[in-house]
Amino acid sequence: MDDSTVFVGLDYHQDSVQVCVLSRDGQVIRNGSFENDAATIGTVVENHGKRVHAAIESCTGAADLADELTARSGWSVDLAHPGFVSRMKQNPDKTDFTDARLLADLERVGYLPRVWLAPQEVRELRRLVRFRQQLVDERRAVKLRISALLRDQRVRCSYASGTKNWLSWLKTTTQVSVESQWILKRYVRRLESLVTEIRAVETRLARVTKKDSLVAALQKQKGIGVVTAWTIRAEIGRFDRFRNGKQLSRFCGLSPRNASSGTRVADAGLIKAGNRQLRATLMEAAHRLIRYDDPWKDFARNLMGRGKPKCVVVAAAANRWMRRLFHEMQPNKLAA
């Protein structure tokens, strides 16, 4: 076995991984396709170098493979941003061979656009939070289908959608046709099942985050409930992985997008980067802040007095709020 340092690019696929091994001077030592198995990949690379610096594009399954390679072989593994890697390629052709070679070379020269490799517990929390959101989206879709069915038959209900009275009315109403009643019963059954599932997920989330100091600290902040705290913890992970509040806000998709050219200086809305559910959750929190918290009320009133639209005011509040939260959620303050 060679004791030298090698640089490895891993082009990940469900069943196989293209592995490119480069020497310090950029020479290709090996570039081939192998089984998607950490032990197999580790054995292949260890024949060419003891100290391994590897890069793999961030995608489904890549983080788990990176964890396995780090734990099993002691590699230094970086996750790469797939969008930036694609732009840096500047080549119309795409093959696994060249993709793995590019990743290895970017790792070698230190130009790899890295993304955070979240720990296993954070990735598990993300799965739970996103699963809950899928159920919530499905519940909303069922409610909309019920409303569409009632509207199609010109039937009105005096109860608010989603309430117990509304559900009871749906079960007993005779104002719709026989076939529509049959459909409504199944919609109601599905709706009740989704409500039960959502409660089960929330119970599990509460148990998983019971001893999480960051979730506890977030819930002490104005405008943050338990669902918002879960979402922030799952999608952001750690606040100290960002250099400053501006970088954090940009990660959350809350920063204005610059559209300047020459003497023209303008914004073009939000950059809309990152996780959409995180951005939506933070916007909802900002709505609560400018409605119920006096300092944020004054902030919003000042901007609206200068002619800013409500949507711009909410986005500005969310942006500034996340920058402030960056400083308040640092580990040294949480431990104090």
CATH of the domain at 107: 3.30.420.40
189-206 pLDDT, tens digit per residue, is 999 999 999 999 999 999
65-92 pLDDT, tens digit per residue, is 999 999 888 899 999 998 889 888 877 7
What is the domain range of residue 137? Answer: 120-208
Do 267 and 165 share a domain, yes or no? no
Do 80 and 16 share a domain, yes or no? yes
> Distance between CA 21 and CA 43 in Å, rounded?
12
Mean residue pLDDT across the chain: 91
Do 191 and 295 share a domain, yes or no? no
| Tokens encoding 253 | 């998709």
The region that residue 110 occupies, defined by phi over 0 for left and psi between -120 and 50 for alpha, beta otherwise, is left
> Distance between CA 300 and CA 318 in Å, rounded?
11
Residue, of 259 and 134, whose pLDDT is higher: 134
> Distance between CA 208 and CA 203 in Å, rounded?
9
pTM for this predicted structure: 0.87
Residue count (the chain): 336
At residue 217, the pLDDT reads 93
Mean pLDDT of 302-318: 92
**Residue listed under structure tokens 């499905």:** 138
Element spanning 304, H or E: helix 294-305
117: exposed, middle or buried (C-beta count within 10 Å: 0-12, 13-18, 19+)?
middle
Examine the fold and report which residue of 172, 192, 208 is the final residue of a domain before the chain moves on.
Answer: 208
> Is a pLDDT exceeding 50 seen at residue 55?
yes
Examine the fold and report which residue of 115, 136, 168 is the final residue of a domain before the chain moves on.
Answer: 115
At residue 313, the pLDDT reads 93
Amino acid making up residue 23: S
247-289 pLDDT, tens digit per residue, is 999 999 988 877 776 777 667 778 877 889 999 999 999 999 9
CB within 8 A of 163, min separation 6: which ones? none
Do 222 and 200 share a domain, yes or no? no
Say which range, 47-51, 107-111, 241-245, 248-252, has the weakest mean pLDDT. 47-51
The region that residue 77 occupies, defined by phi over 0 for left and psi between -120 and 50 for alpha, beta otherwise, is beta
At residue 266, the pLDDT reads 64
Mean pLDDT of 290-310: 92
Do 162 and 197 share a domain, yes or no? yes
Mean pLDDT of 295-306: 93
210-258 pLDDT, tens digit per residue, is 999 999 999 999 889 999 999 999 999 999 999 999 999 999 998 887 7
Do 131 and 199 share a domain, yes or no? yes
> Distance between CA 60 and CA 325 in Å, rounded?
30
> Distance between CA 159 and CA 165 in Å, rounded?
6
> Is a pLDDT exceeding 90 seen at residue 40?
yes
Place 31 in a pLDDT band, splitting at 50, 70 and 90.
very high
Mean pLDDT of 287-303: 93
> Is a pLDDT exceeding 50 seen at residue 1?
no
Do 199 and 219 share a domain, yes or no? no
> Distance between CA 261 and CA 263 in Å, rounded?
6
Do 201 and 278 share a domain, yes or no? no
Burial annotation 49-60 (CB, 10 A radius, 16+ → b, else e): beebbbbbbbee
Mean pLDDT of 154-166: 90
Do 74 and 184 share a domain, yes or no? no
Count H helices, E strands: the chain?
Answer: 14, 8
Are the C-beta atoms of residues 10 and 100 closer than 8 Å to each other? yes
Place 336 in a pLDDT band, splitting at 50, 70 and 90.
low
HSE of 53, CA atoms in CB hemisphere, 13 A: 17
At residue 2, the pLDDT reads 54
Are the C-beta atoms of residues 64 and 78 closer than 8 Å to each other? no
> Is a pLDDT exceeding 90 seen at residue 101?
yes
Domain count, the chain: 3
| Tokens encoding 249 | 């806000």
Examine the fold and report which residue of 97, 115, 133 is the final residue of a domain before the chain moves on.
Answer: 115
> In terms of DSSP bridges, do strands 16-22 and 5-12 run parallel, antiparallel, or are they unpaired?
antiparallel
Residue, of 274 and 158, whose pLDDT is higher: 158
At residue 328, the pLDDT reads 92
Residue, of 89 and 173, whose pLDDT is higher: 173
